[in-house]
Amino acid sequence: ASATDWLSRSIYQVLTDRFALTDDAGTPCDTAPQLYCNGTFKGIVNHLDYIQAMGFDAIWISPVVTNLEGNSAGEGDAYHGYWTQDITTINKHFGTSDDLKALSKALHSRGMYLMLDVVINHFASFGLPNDTTISAYGTFNAPDLFHPQCFISDYNNQTNVEQCWLGDTTVALADLNTESQTVIDGWNKWITGMVSEYSLDGLRIDTLKHVRKPFWPAFQQAAGVYAVGEVLINDTSYASDYSNFIDGVLDYPGYYALTQAFSSTSGNMSLLLETSHQTQSLYKNGAFSTAAFLENHDQPRFQSTVHDQSLVKNAMTWSFVTDAIPILYQGQEQGYGGGNVPANREALWLSAYVTSNTLHGHVTSLNSARKAAIAANSSYTSVPMVVSSPSESTILVSKLPMLAFMSNVGAFGSYNAVGGGYQPNEALVETLSCKTLNADGNGNINFASTDGLPMVCEFL
C-alpha cells in the first residue's frame, strides 16, 4: 500500500509479546523483569475483532526476526523484538513464519493493513561483540560490515549519532556500516523479500535518524510500500527533513507539545498551536507526512501523570482529528497507566479485553468520526487542516466537514468556542456525545462545554 493509501487509515500499535496469548489462560505478566510474557501472532489473529471493532484498519506489530536468546542480567530479554540476531528467520517466541503469514492473511481478509517494525541500524550482542558473535549474524557476518565500536556520546554531532552505537556494554547494539555497498544491497534485497513473503502493507522503521539520510530512498523503493520512520527528537526542523527521504515520520515533536498542552489545566496550548503550524510548513507534505500518537512503548503512559479524565480525553482526540495518520498504542483504550520503560508495556490480556469502559468508547467514536469525515469529503486526506487557538485553553482543528474543539480546562472547567464553515442552519452532530445541533444562519456553531470535554462536530 502507498502513502496515499495509508492516509485514510488508523493504526493500532501492537506489542506482540504483550498483546494476546495463543490461548487465554490468564497467565500473569510482570513488566519489571523484562522477560517474555508469551504473546503470539496466533493470539493477535484471535483478537482482531477487538481491534477492528474500535475502528482501526491497520496494525503495527513488533519486529519479527530472530533476536538474542536468553537474559541480559539487567536489561532482561528480547521480548520487545529490537535485539536482532538473524534476519533470515522468525522469532520463535512469537510463532512460525506460517503463523505470521496467517496473520497477514487474516488482516487482509478483513480489509486491514499490516505494518511491520524493522530494525535496520543495528544487530545486538550481550556484551561487546567479538568475531564469533558477528559470525552468527547470518546476512551481515563480517566485522567490516559494522562501524568501529564507540557508543554515541554526542547527540549534537550527527556523524556520532549515525556511526557510533546505541546500547551499552550489557546489550550492545552493533552499528551496521550503512555506507558499505554490501550492507546497502543486503538490506534492500531483504526488505523486498520480506514485503513479498509476508504481503506487508507498510513499515515502521526503527532508529531512522541513526542511519545517514541518503540510505533511505533506495530502501523505501526496494520496500515498495509506505514507510514511517522513528526520529526521536523534540525538534520539528530536525525531524521534518527526514520527510524528504522517506514517506512518513513519527511525529515526536508533536507528541512533546501534545503531552505538555494537556498535562494540566495550565498546560501550554500555544506551544501545540505553534508546533502544528511548524509541522504543516516544514514537512514535505505538511502534517500529512506524519503519524501522530499520544503514547508508545518507549514513553510513559499519559495516565502515569495525568488523571483528570477530561484532559485525557482531549489529549486522545488530537491524533484522530489532524492531518496525520493516527496511531494508538495498545492499552491506552484500557486506561493503562504504566510509567517509564518497562512499566509502560503492560500485557493487554490482563484487561480481559473489556469493551465497556469509557476510553474504549471514546476511541471508537473518534475512529468513526474520522471515517465519516473521510467518506464525506474526497479531499479530506489532501487539503490541509486549519488549526487555531481561540483562547489560551482551547484549540480548534478545522477539516470540514469536521470541526474539533479541544481544551485543557479540565473536568471542573467550562469553555465556549465558535467555529464556522457550514451551510446556514445545517443539521450537525457532535459525535462524542451523539447530540444533534444546527449551525446558525451564518453557518457557525457556538459550543459551550461545562465539563471540559472535547467536541467533534460533523454533518448529521
Smaller CB separation from ligand ABC, 12 or 50: 12
Side-chain half-sphere CA neighbours of 414 within 13 A: 5
Question: Does 247 contact Ca ion by CB under 5 A?
Answer: no
**Residue 209 beta carbon to Ca ion: minimum distance, rounded to whole angstroms:** 9
Q: Which three cell numbers, joined as nine digits, stand for 250? A: 513519527
Q: What is the closest distance, in whole angstroms, from the C-beta atom of residue 298 to ligand ABC in the complex?
A: 5
Other beta carbons within 10 angstroms of residue 243's beta carbon come to 21
368 CB neighbour count, 10 Å cutoff: 15
The Cβ-side half-sphere exposure at 419, using a 13 Å CA radius, reads 28
- CA 362 to chain centroid, in Å, comes to 18
d(CA 147, CA 144): 7
Residue of 9, 210, 313, 360 interacting with Ca ion (CB under 5 A):
210
- Per the listing, cell 493470539 goes with 43
Is 308 an annotated catalytic residue?
Answer: no
**What is the grid cell recorded at 92?**
520463535
Residue with cell 514535505: 284
- Smallest gap from Cβ 56 to ligand ABC, in A, equals 20
Q: Counting Cβ atoms within 10 Å, is residue 423 exposed (0-12), middle (13-18) or buried (19+)?
A: exposed
User: Before 401, cis peptide (omega within 30)?
Assistant: yes
Nearest distance, CB of residue 211 and Ca ion, angstroms: 5
Catalytic residue among 99, 175, 201, 230, which? 230
CB-nearer residue toward Ca ion: 100 or 183: 183
Contact partner at residue 451 from Ca ion, ligand ABC, none, CB < 5 to 8 Å by partner kind? none
Strand order in the sheet with 435-438: 386-391, 394-399, 402-407, 455-459, 427-430, 435-438
Q: Which residues bind ligand ABC (CB under 6 A)?
A: 75, 80, 82, 119, 155, 166-168, 171, 206-207, 230, 232-235, 297-298, 341-342
Considering only residues 8-67, where is the footprint of Ca ion by CB under 5 A? none
Out of Ca ion, ligand ABC, none, what residue 175 binds, judged by CB under 5 to 8 A for its kind, is Ca ion
CA angle 332–333–335, rounded 5-degree value: 65
| Selected range binding Ca ion among 172-180, 258-266, 343-351, 391-399, rule: CB under 5 A | 172-180
Give the nearer residue to Ca ion in terms of CB position, either 20 or 173: 173
Quickly list H helices, 322-392.
Answer: 358-376
Q: Indicate the residue type of 328.
A: L
Catalytic residue among 117, 162, 206, 323: 206
**155 binding partner (options ligand ABC, Ca ion, none; Cβ < 5 to 8 Å by kind):** ligand ABC
What count of Cα atoms within 13 Å lies in the side-chain half-sphere of residue 44? Answer: 28
3-state secondary structure of 447: strand
Question: Which partner from the list Ca ion, ligand ABC, none does 233 bind, CB cut-off 5 to 8 Å by kind?
Answer: ligand ABC
Q: Report DSSP letters for 231-261, one per residue.
A: ---S-HHHHHGGGGTSSEEE-HHHHHHHHHH
**In the bound complex, what is the minimum distance in angstroms from residue 242's beta carbon to ligand ABC?**
12
Q: Please say which residue, 31 or 317, places its beta carbon nearer to ligand ABC.
A: 31
Q: Is residue 230 at the binding interface for Ca ion, with CB under 5 A as the rule?
A: no
Among 86, 117, 175, 230, binds Ca ion (CB under 5 A): 175
| Minimum separation from the CB atom of position 181 to ligand ABC (A) | 24
Quick one: which of 67, 85, 121, 125 contacts Ca ion (CB under 5 A)? 121
Instruction: Give the nearer residue to ligand ABC in terms of CB position, either 157 or 446.
Output: 157
Which part of the chain contacts Ca ion (CB under 5 A), choosing from 19-27, 156-164, 301-309, 335-343?
156-164
Catalytic status, residue 230 = yes
Selected range binding Ca ion among 24-32, 187-195, 206-214, 418-426, rule: CB under 5 A: 206-214
Contact footprint for Ca ion (CB under 5 A): 121, 162, 175, 210
Catalytic residues: 206, 230
